[in-house]
Amino acid sequence: MKASELIDKEVYVENFRVGKVKNVLLDAEEWKVTHLEIELTKEAAKELLGAKSAFRNVLAISAAGPASKCCTSEGRIDLQVSKGQLRIYLRPA
């Protein structure tokens, strides 16, 4: 899968819609994807981070796990961590 194919994919954790991929961040030295920039939904921002409105956040790619598990036939990304753990994989954009 090309990195550009990840743009605009919906991101879910435990069938809860987290948001949409807006950018893919690479480690310039190792040429590996390290993070996904996610536009959080208003519901996810409130439930996961206690925020009042939707905003962008950066998600560590390790939350997605192997591509064979996270990229589903529905054309979305299913994170391989629990909803309770998701906060530790997010940081401000």
Model pTM score: 0.87
Asked whether residue 91 is assigned to any structural domain, the reply reads no
pLDDT at 90: 93
pLDDT at 73: 65
pLDDT at 71: 77
pLDDT at 33: 87
Please give the average pLDDT of every successive group of 10 residues along the chain, which has 93 residues.
85 95 92 93 92 91 84 83 92 85
Q: Phi, psi at residue 63, to the nearest 5°? A: -70, -25
Distances (CA, A) of 43 to 34, 58, 70: 25, 17, 22
Asked whether residue 42 is assigned to any structural domain, the reply reads yes
CATH number of the domain to which 16 belongs: 2.30.30.240
Query: Cα 15 vs. chain centroid, distance in angstroms?
Result: 13
Which residues does residue 43 pair with via DSSP β-bridges, in sequence order?
none
Asked whether residue 88 is assigned to any structural domain, the reply reads no
